[in-house]
Chain A
Amino acid sequence: MIEFSGVTKVYGSTTVVDDVTAQLPKGGITSIIGPNGAGKSTLLSMIARLIPCDRGTVLVDGLDVARTSGETLARRLSILRQDNHMTARLTVHDLVAFGRYPYSRGRITADDQAHIGRALGYLGLNDLGDRFLDELSGGQRQRAFVAMVLCQDTDYMLFDEPLNNLDIRHAVGMMKLLGNAARDFGKTVVVVLHDVNFASCYSNHIIVMRDGKLFLQGSPREIIRSETLEQTYGCPFEVQELGGNRIAVYYT
C-alpha cells in the first residue's frame, strides 16, 4: 500500500501540491487525472522520492521513502516521468537491461536476460533492440522507457502520462498491458492520464487533482460523471454508458 499524508510542495510563494492525503490500495490501477498544472506530476515525483516533500510523509509498504535506502526502494517502486531527455546514447536493449540494475548492478544473469526479453516482447520492441534511442520515433522511444520500467519488475509502478506519443493501437495495448500486470502479477500501477476515457475503462480507482489539492477520489463510476468532470476541467462533458463503461464525450 502507498500512503501519503499531508504531502506539500512549495515553489517560491506558490503551493503546487497542497496538503494531499490518500491511500492507494495494493493491486490494481489507480489513475490520477486533472487539468494542466494541477500538481499531478509533482505529486507522483514526491511519491517516488524524485523530489523531496516540503511537508508530509510518503510510505510505501510502511517504508518512509525519504529515509529508506535508494537500493531497497528501487526493488519495490519504479517511476517513469513525463518528459525524458536522454543524452546518453544507448540502444533499446541496453536501456531495458538497465532496468535490472537494482538487482544485478550491471552483471546480467540468465534470469535478468529473461526479464529483458519479456519486457521487449510486451512492448513490441523485439525488432528495435539494437537501435539507438536517438534513432527512434517519439512513440517507439516512449515504449522503450516503459519496457525499462517493466523490466525493473517492482511491486509498485508509477507512470506519468505513459500514453504520450502513442498511437491509438499502442495506447490501448499499453493500458491492457498495465491492466494485466495489475491483475495477473498483482502489481500496483499508478498512472497520470489525460484521457479520462482510458481512466474510466481501465482504473480501479481515480484520484482527481485540482489546483494542487486532492479534489475527489473514487471508483470510475463515481468520478466519470458530467458534473464532476465539468467542475474539474471547466468545460462541458456528456457522459454515456457504452458497452459497460462510462465514456465522456467532450469534443464539441
Chain B
Amino acid sequence: MLPLCISHGDLVKLFVIALLATTALAVASLFVGVSEISFFALLSGESNEKMLLVLGESRIPRTAALILAGAGMAVAGTIMQLLSRNRFVEPSTAGTVESASLGMLAVLLLAPDLPVMMKMLVAALFALAGTALFLGILRRVPLRSPVLVPLVGLMLGGVINACTTFFAYRYDLMQAMGAWTSGDFSAVLRGRYEVLWLALALTAAAYFAADRFTVAGMGKDFSTNLGLDYRKVVALGLLIVSMVTASVVVTAGILPFIGLIVPNLVSMAMGDRLRHTLPWVALSGAVLVLLCDTIGRVINAPYEIPVGSMLGIIGSIFFLSMLLRRRSRAA
C-alpha cells in the first residue's frame, strides 16, 4: 500500500519514472531473440541489412503489440470489475475471451478471406454477446458469494469453448485454432498487429469516461442518484471490453489473467478512482506482458514459452491466493 503522505504531484513524478523504466524495458526486449541483434552494433552503424529487417519487421511490431495488448487487457479487466462489482471478473473469467475465439472460428469457417479488421469486428460482436449473456445471468441469478461469480463465468466460458472445439474438430481446424487460443507473440509481424492500435484508442476512450465508470462502479442506485444513465455506461464499458479483447485475440491470442492481476494490485495500492489509476493500470499491464514475454524468450532459449502460458501460471497462482485470502478473512 502506498503511504498516504504521497501527494498528487509526487504521484505524477513517480508515474513519469515508471514510464521511463517501461520504455527501457521495451527497448531491451527488442534485443532478445533467436537472431542476434546488438544494441552497440546498431549505434555504431555496423548493423547489417538483416538486423534492420528483423528489427523492423518482427521485433518492433512484437514489442509494440505486447505493450498495446497488455495495457488494453488490464484496462478491460478494470472496467469489467467495476461494472460487475466483483474483483474476480476479467475477460477470461466471464466468457468474453471464449466468445471472441468462437467468433474467430466462425470467421475461419464462413469467410476466411476477410481482412483482419473485419475478423476483429466479428470476434468483438461475439465477445459482446457472450459478456452480455454473462452479465444477464448475474442479474437473474443472485449469487450469495462473490467467489461464485467467476465460477459462473468460467463455466460459461467452458461451454462456449466446447462449442468452439466441437466445430474445430469437425472441420479440421484444431491446428489453426491453436494459433489464437494460446497467447503467443512470436508470430506477430509488421502488417499483422496494427488492429491493436484500436485497442489503444479504446483505452484512451476509457480514460475520458473514467469518472463515469467509477460512478457506475458505485452501483446502480448511486449512479441514478448522481444522474448518471447507468445502462449507457454499462453498454459503453461492454463495447470497450469486447473490442479490446477481440483485437488481442485476433492478433496474439488469449492473454489470460492480466485483467485480474493488474487491476487488483492497482486497486489495493491506490483505490478505484479511475481518473487517477487508469494510467497506472495500463502501464502495469504493459510491463507485466513485456516481462512475461521477455522471460519466456530467455528462460528456455532458443525455444520460446508463449506469454499466454507464462501468464496462465502466474495468473492462476494469483487467483488462488486471492480466493484463499478471502476465505481466511471470512473465517
Contact = CB atoms under 8 A, between A and B. Distances in A.
Interface of A: 48-50, 69-75, 78-81, 84-91, 94, 98-99, 101-102, 105-106, 130, 132, 149, 152
Given A80-B225, A94-B273, A98-B215, 13 more contacts: A70-B229, A73-B227, A74-B225, A86-B222, A87-B86, A87-B217, A87-B219, A89-B268, A89-B271, A94-B271, A98-B222, A106-B212, A152-B225
A98 B218 contact: yes
Interface of B: 4, 82, 85-87, 210-212, 214-215, 217-219, 221-222, 224-229, 267-268, 271-273, 275
Given A98-B214, A101-B211, A130-B4, A87 B227 contact: no
Q: Would you list the 8 A-B pairs with minimal beta carbon distance, nearest first? A: A74-B227, A106-B211, A88-B217, A71-B227, A87-B85, A88-B272, A70-B227, A89-B271
A75 B219 CA distance: 19
Nearest to B224: A50
Contact of B219 (A85, A102, A105): A85
B228 A86 contact: no
A86 B218 contact: yes
Contacts of B214: 88, 90, 98
Contacts of B224: 48-50, 70
A43 to B, nearest CB: 15
B226 A101 contact: yes
A71 B212 CA distance: 13
13 contacts: A78-B225, A79-B221, A81-B221, A87-B86, A88-B82, A89-B268, A90-B214, A90-B218, A90-B273, A94-B273, A102-B227, A106-B212, A149-B225
Nearest to B82: A88
Contact of B271 (A72, A84, A91, A98): A91
Nearest to B273: A94
Contact of B225 (A50, A91, A94, A106): A50
Given A86-B218, A88-B218, A101 B227 contact: yes
A75 B82 contact: no
Contacts of B275: 106
Contacts of A49: 224
A75 B225 CA distance: 9
Contacts of B4: 130
B9 to A, nearest CB: 15
Contacts of A132: 271
Nearest to A70: B227
Among A48, A79, A101, find the residue whose CB has the most chain B CB atoms closer than 10 A.
A101
B271 A90 contact: yes
Contacts of B226: 74, 98-99, 101-102, 152
B208 to A, nearest CB: 10
A154 B52 CA distance: 64
Contacts of A79: 221, 225
A88 B233 CA distance: 15
A199 to B, nearest CB: 24
Nearest to B271: A89
Contacts of B215: 98, 101
Nearest to A48: B225
A131 B225 CA distance: 23
Nearest to A79: B225
Given A106-B211, A130-B4, A90 B272 contact: yes
Contact of A86 (B86, B219, B225): B219
